Chains A and B, each alone.
Chain A
Amino acid sequence: MSSMLKASVQIDARGARFGALITAIVFSVALVTQSPALIMWQAAVFAIGAFRGPQFTPYAVIFRSVVKPRLKSNPIFEDVRPPKFAQAVGLVFTIIALIGSLLGSSVVFSVAVAAALAAAFLNFAFNYCLGCQFYLLGVRLVSPRNSKITLEVK
């Protein structure tokens, strides 16, 4: 069965959402203080989340040790791939912000941080799923289209 091959790691979705809250706060402070140092920190967190998994970030550690024991609700298990994808998208935006900062452009820095902040905030407050909205769109844009001929034959 292909579902056996696709079996993947499950994580507590509440932890990923808590991580999004901390991320949104970090971005908010970074935006107001125009701090590249905070973005560098967040980029490092995203790198861990994107390559190893969101359950290994410092925010996930805080969630497990401080927040989780105080929560009354049951864990909501979720595939690790959607939040991992979101962390990778976040990493790209933090890198753009850092490049902007290196080039001395506060506009590039602010726009990239603002976009990442909006995504993290939507993720936390509305359970917004970045992978749902943009993964397929990205694949569609990257892969060549070859359906024209079939359409014309019909």
Chain B
Amino acid sequence: MRNNTPVDNLLVLIAILASATGYGFYFRARSGRLKATTKKGATAVISCITPVEMGTEFGSVATLLQFSSAFCAPCRATKVLLGEVAKDHPGVVHVVLDAESHLELVRRLKIISTPTTLILDPKGHEVGRAVGAPRREQVAAALHALR
């Protein structure tokens, strides 16, 4: 391939910055949004976890199961936020697991990035999940819907 001219490279630069900006807005809009987990037979069974695996009992209303990692900046803020939410809502338990040391669970629950928060019903079935740092009102609304 012949060497590009600076003008060609400038066009490439503009294209990269434009697509990165587009992706950035898409990413920002999607990040932390809580999605209800659809129960389609097998999916509901797979998205199930035992108290032993989690290291604690399920909350009587819900469990906020957060997967974190040391290389994730927003994980800490999410941990603080969900801890406060759990404190404000009786029957809601907040659990933080280090994703790296629970790889089997991570694979089974199809966790790809951190933070990922699963909302579990009292039986430990996944009813919702948020990929990225969720906002307080989003979590509160999801918990309200569970009652």
- The residues of A with any CB-CB pair to B shorter than 8 Å are 6, 8, 13, 28, 31-34, 78-79, 81-85, 106-107, 110, 114, 117-118, 121-122, 125-126, 128-129, 131-137, 139-140, 143, 145-147, 150-151
**Chain A minimum-CB-distance residue to B16:** A114
Inter-chain CA distance A102–B124, complex, in Å, is 55
A-B complex: 5 closest residue pairs judged by Cβ atoms: A131-B71, A126-B24, A85-B71, A82-B73, A135-B71
| Contact digits for B14-35, partner A, Cβ 8 Å, 1 yes 0 no | 0011011101110110000000
Interface flags, B102-140, vs A, CB<8A=1, else 0: 011011100111110000000000000000100000000
Chain A's interface: helix, strand, loop or mixed, by majority?
A: helix
Complex Cα gap A32–B98 (Å): 42
Residue from the list B21, B73, B103, B106 in contact with A129, Cβ < 8 A: B73
B interface list, Cβ under 8 A from A: 1, 3-4, 6, 9-10, 12-13, 16-17, 19-21, 23-25, 27-28, 67, 69-76, 99-100, 103-104, 106-108, 111-115, 132
Distance (whole angstroms) from the CB of A43 to the closest CB of chain B: 19
Whether A122 lies near B24 (C-beta < 8 A) is: yes
Known: A8-B70, A81-B71. 13 other contacts (CB 8 A): A6-B70, A28-B17, A31-B16, A79-B76, A82-B71, A83-B73, A114-B12, A126-B24, A126-B27, A129-B73, A132-B113, A132-B114, A137-B112
Chain B residues whose CB sits within 8 angstroms of the CB of A13 once the complex forms: 73
Cβ–Cβ < 8 Å partners of A121 in chain B: 16-17, 20-21
A33 to B139, CA, bound (A): 48
Residues of A within 8 A of B107 (CB): 140, 145, 147
12 A-B contact pairs sorted by A residue (CB < 8 Å): A32-B6, A32-B10, A84-B71, A117-B13, A117-B17, A128-B24, A135-B71, A135-B114, A136-B100, A140-B112, A147-B104, A147-B108
Q: Are A126 and B112 in contact (CB under 8 A)?
A: no
Q: Which residues of chain A are near B100, meaning CB under 8 Å?
A: 136, 139
Smallest CB-CB separation from B75: which chain A residue? A132
Q: Of A78, A79, A107, A117, which one neighbours B1 at CB under 8 angstroms? A: A107
Q: Pick the contact of A118: B9, B16, B104 (CB < 8 A).
A: B16
**Which residues of the other chain, A, contact B73 by a CB distance below 8 angstroms?**
13, 78-79, 82-83, 129, 131-132
Question: Nearest Cβ in chain B — how far from A28, in angstroms?
Answer: 6
Which of B17, B72, B114 has the most CB atoms of chain A within a 10 A radius of its CB? B72
Cα–Cα, bound, A137→B100 (Å): 10
* Nearest A residue (CB) for B67: A136
**A23 to B: closest C-beta gap in Å:** 13
Contact of B20 among A107, A122, A135, A147 (CB under 8 A): A122
